[in-house]
Amino acid sequence: MNTTRLKILTVLSALALCVGTSLAADLPPEDKQFLAGYEKVRSALATDDLNGAKQAAVELGEAGSAFAQSEKIDAARAEFSKLSERAVQLGRGQSGYYVVNCPMLRKEWLQPSGKISNPYAGKSMPECGSIRK
């Protein structure tokens, strides 16, 4: 009986170690590149800079092509929410990234700083949001 419990505990410990290691693993270079480009787009939107955001979106390649075609900032922000889904998925649990939620707009994004900088509200509500755990 004790041997069986020991084996089970050993297997569970090894499994927990593997899961913890995979969650904290470094991102591959292409994901890091996506997040760097995403941050440029996010930062530009936070200051209502549509042209800067569109230029940054070009760096995202195919992922940013629909965004780069946006003619108005509202359309760009709608496209940004699609980019944010991927960014949040990549950055969640990674050191140096914060998942932020704006309850007023019901939007979520990723940013590298703990100081809120809302890309969906821009200058109208720049600090609206809270960091999600």
Summarize pLDDT for 62-100 with one digit per residue, the tens. 999 999 999 999 999 999 999 999 999 999 999 999 999
pLDDT attached to residue 121: 97
pLDDT (average), residues 108-130: 96
Residue with tokens 């007023």: 104
The predicted structure's pLDDT at residue 10: 40
Any domain includes 70? yes
Q: What confidence category does residue 54 fall into, taking pLDDT thresholds of 50, 70 and 90?
A: very high
From CA 110, how far away is CA 85, in angstroms rounded?
Answer: 9
Total number of domains in the chain = 1
Other C-beta atoms lying within 10 Å of the C-beta of residue 105: 15
Angle separating helix axes 50-58 and 29-46, nearest 10 degrees = 170
Say if 59 falls within a structural domain. yes
pTM over 0.95: no
| C-alpha–C-alpha distance, residues 56 and 44, integer Å | 8
Residue 24 lies in a domain: no
For 101, the 3-state DSSP assignment is: strand
What's the order of all strands across the beta sheet hosting 107-111? 107-111, 98-102, 130-131
Residue 20 confidence (pLDDT)? 40
User: Is the residue at 17 inside a domain?
Assistant: no
Whether 20 is covered by a domain: the verdict is no
* Residue 88 domain boundaries: 29-131
Residue 81 confidence (pLDDT): 97
Residue 78 lies in a domain: yes
Is 110 within a domain? Answer: yes
Q: What percent of the chain is predicted at pLDDT more than 90? A: 79
What is the band of 12 on the pLDDT scale with cuts at 50, 70, 90?
A: very low
Assigned domain for 21 exists: no
Decide if pLDDT at 128 tops 50: yes
